[in-house]
């Protein structure tokens, strides 16, 4: 205990998912004392915030957590939600991190000496350094227009969707066509539900192309080793919507045009509800074309790579040709006449770091950092999309990020003077 009767550890980690436990793995290796606070239970999101038919969209061989890479017999397959949870539970058991479950971090502040004061539902603590590993997807986004939709319509967010059976009989409106929206729309479509899909500007990607998973090609091309600073979009890539594709049933493309052929009704981006009608932008054709252009552009880059490397493949280059074309943009849909009885909002989340008192956030509430290191000495983030590489927010890159931060933190911990410019200090110095 310190002078203020607060328990002191060198490092406090906020969040007990794969990022927080990966951080703990390396801190344990270096014998740096730490606690992991998890407000729910370890891997809560993976256990409770996925739909029943969920599968990873990245192949199993990319699952590489410290001390436990993928240990199954299908490296080119895609783990189901249950298989993913089982793997993560094996990781947690092997690691045996100092996690305190059911503990909410209420506030983190610093004093004039740079010491962190952490107020929790289980008491007061101090630490030399703090790692935020709670991700960036905290508050489900539901637009204000939802308040005007009749109470007879069941509304859920994607985080609470499990399967078609949980919804009342009737048609379903899915709002958003990113990874979750596209896959949930497919799940409902397969279940035989009438689906209306309000699209967004999410891109899509092929599952397999010219004999291999596209992820394998991109890995060969070095895409997953590219740092955010080397990406053509720079840090703006962090704002990009993920490409929609699926690992379901061994993996396949998701083609919204094919769904339309099979009876799914597609609309542009939903903007309002006027009391009778759902209102959409006239941008469905643009949304579909943008997604297809991205699909074809990625395949064209693979073609260039194959040619440059002189790779012999059985399949030649190809270009996606639309299987369905929009005849007319529809900008309204009468809710009562549509047969819609439920709406699933798949439009993402917003960050909520209100418990962290530190001047390290931009105007949208996202932390500013360089590879997880903020401008405030001793404060770090891990597990965010494109923290350093494409894999930072996934199972493929968090290990490298955690190892980097641990080395950085070890150096910080051994400094005789704790206040120095963390953003400029070089680990290689």
Answer yes or no: is 384 within a domain: yes
How far is residue 224's CA from residue 230's CA, in Å, rounded to a whole number?
11
Query: Residue 1 above 80 pLDDT?
Result: no
Which of 289, 310, 345 lies at the terminal end of a domain, its last residue? 345
End-to-end CA distance of the chain: give it in Å, rounded. Answer: 34
Are residue 25 and residue 154 in the same domain, yes or no? no
The pLDDT mean for the chain works out to: 93
Residue owning tokens 């503990």 = 103
Q: What's the total number of domains in the chain? A: 2
**Is residue 418 domain-resident?**
no
Smallest Cα–Cα separation from 352: which of 104, 182, 11, 44? Answer: 104
**354-377: per-residue pLDDT in tens?**
999 999 999 889 999 999 999 999
Any domain includes 278: yes
Note whether 74 and 196 are same-domain residues.
Answer: no
Q: Is the dihedral of CA 40, 41, 42, 48 positive or negative?
A: negative
Give the domain-ending residue among 345, 368, 389: 345
**Same domain membership, residue 155 and residue 131:** no
Q: Are residues 47 and 123 in the same domain?
A: yes
- Decide if 378 is inside a domain: yes
- Bigger pLDDT: 5 vs 36: 36
Instruction: Identify which of 208, 324, 304 has the alpha carbon closest to the alpha carbon of residue 258.
Output: 324
**Distance (Å, rounded) from C-alpha 291 to C-alpha 339?**
28
pLDDT of residue 195: 98
Q: Has residue 420 been placed in a domain?
A: no
Measured in degrees and rounded to the nearest 5, phi and psi for residue 144 equal -60, -25
State the pLDDT at residue 427. 38
Question: Which CATH number goes with the domain that contains 316?
Answer: 3.50.50.60
Strand pairing of 116-120 and 123-132? antiparallel
pLDDT above 60 (res 250): yes
231 in the same domain as 108: no
Q: Which pLDDT score is estimated for 320?
A: 96
Name residues whose C-beta falls within 8 Å of residue 429's C-beta, 6 or more positions apart in sequence.
none
**187 or 137, higher pLDDT:** 187
| Contact call for residues 394 and 401 (beta carbons, < 8 A) | no
Question: How many whole angstroms separate alpha carbon 421 and alpha carbon 377?
Answer: 7
Instruction: Tell me, yes or no, whether 257 and 277 share the same domain.
Output: yes
**Do the strands 332-334 and 208-209 form a parallel or antiparallel pair, or are they unpaired?**
unpaired
Q: In Å, how far are 51, 204, 240, 296 from 318, measured between CA atoms?
A: 34, 16, 26, 8
Q: Residue 315 to residues 211, 215, 394: CA-CA distances in angstroms?
A: 7, 17, 30
Q: Mark whether 364 and 311 lie in a shared domain.
A: no
pLDDT grade, residue 414 (50/70/90)?
confident
426 located within any domain: no
User: In this predicted model, what pLDDT tens digit does every residue of 151-164 receive, in sequence order?
Assistant: 999 999 999 999 99
pLDDT tens by residue, 178-229: 999 999 999 999 999 999 999 999 999 999 999 999 999 999 999 999 999 9
Clarify whether residues 170 and 227 are in a common domain. Answer: yes
Of 345, 363, 396, the position where a domain reaches its end is 345
Q: What is the pLDDT of residue 4?
A: 60
Judge whether 428 lies within some domain.
Answer: no
**422 within some domain:** no
Query: Exposed/middle/buried for 31, CB within 10 Å: 0-12, 13-18, 19+?
Result: exposed
In terms of domains, do 324 and 407 share one?
A: no
CA distances from 292 to 74, 90, 95, 299 (A): 30, 39, 43, 11
- Are residues 372 and 337 part of one domain? no
Whether residues 115 and 261 share a domain: the answer is no
Domain that holds residue 388: 7-138+351-413
**In this structure, are 287 and 377 located in the same domain?**
no
Max Cα-Cα span within the chain? 73
């Amino acid at each position: 205990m310190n002078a203020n009767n607060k328990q002191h550890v060198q490092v406090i980690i906020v969040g007990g998912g794969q990022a927080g436990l990966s951080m703990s793995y390396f801190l344990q290796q270096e014998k740096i004392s730490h606690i992991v606070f998890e407000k729910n239970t370890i891997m809560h999101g993976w256990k409770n915030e996925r739909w029943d038919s969920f599968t990873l969209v990245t192949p199993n061989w990319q699952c590489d957590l410290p001390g436990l890479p993928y240990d199954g017999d299908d490296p080119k397959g895609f783990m189901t939600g249950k298989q993913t949870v089982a793997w993560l539970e094996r990781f947690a058991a092997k690691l045996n991190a100092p996690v305190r479950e059911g503990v909410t971090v209420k506030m983190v502040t610093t004093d004039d000496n740079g010491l962190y004061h952490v107020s929790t539902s289980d008491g007061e603590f101090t630490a030399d350094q703090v790692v935020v590993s709670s991700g960036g997807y905290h508050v489900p986004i539901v637009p204000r227009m939802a308040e005007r939709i009749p109470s007879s319509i069941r509304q859920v967010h994607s985080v609470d969707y499990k399967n078609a059976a949980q919804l009342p009989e009737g048609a379903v409106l899915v709002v958003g066509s990113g990874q979750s929206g596209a896959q949930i729309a497919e799940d409902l479509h397969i279940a035989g539900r009438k689906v209306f899909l309000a699209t967004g500007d999410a891109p899509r990607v092929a599952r397999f192309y010219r004999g291999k998973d596209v992820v394998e090609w991109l890995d060969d091309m070095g895409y997953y080793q590219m740092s955010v600073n080397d990406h053509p979009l720079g840090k703006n890539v962090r704002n990009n919507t993920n490409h929609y594709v699926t690992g379901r049933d061994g993996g396949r493309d998701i083609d919204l045009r094919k769904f339309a052929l099979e009876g799914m009704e597609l609309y542009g981006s939903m903007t309002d509800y006027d009391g009778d009608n759902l209102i959409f932008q006239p941008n469905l054709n643009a949304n579909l074309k943008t997604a297809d252009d991205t699909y074809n552009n990625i395949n064209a880059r693979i073609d260039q790579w194959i040619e440059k490397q002189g790779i012999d493949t059985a399949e030649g280059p190809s270009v996606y040709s639309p299987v369905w074309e929009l005849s007319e943009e529809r900008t309204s849909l009468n809710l009562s006449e549509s047969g819609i009885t439920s709406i699933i909002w798949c439009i993402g989340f917003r960050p909520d770091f209100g418990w962290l008192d530190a001047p390290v956030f931009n105007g949208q509430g996202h932390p500013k950092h360089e590879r997880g290191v903020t401008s405030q000495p001793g404060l770090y983030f891990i597990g965010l999309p494109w923290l350093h590489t494409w894999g930072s927010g996934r199972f493929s890159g968090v290990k490298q990020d955690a190892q980097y931060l641990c080395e950085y933190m070890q150096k910080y911990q051994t400094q005789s003077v704790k206040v120095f410019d963390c953003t400029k200090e070089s680990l290689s110095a």
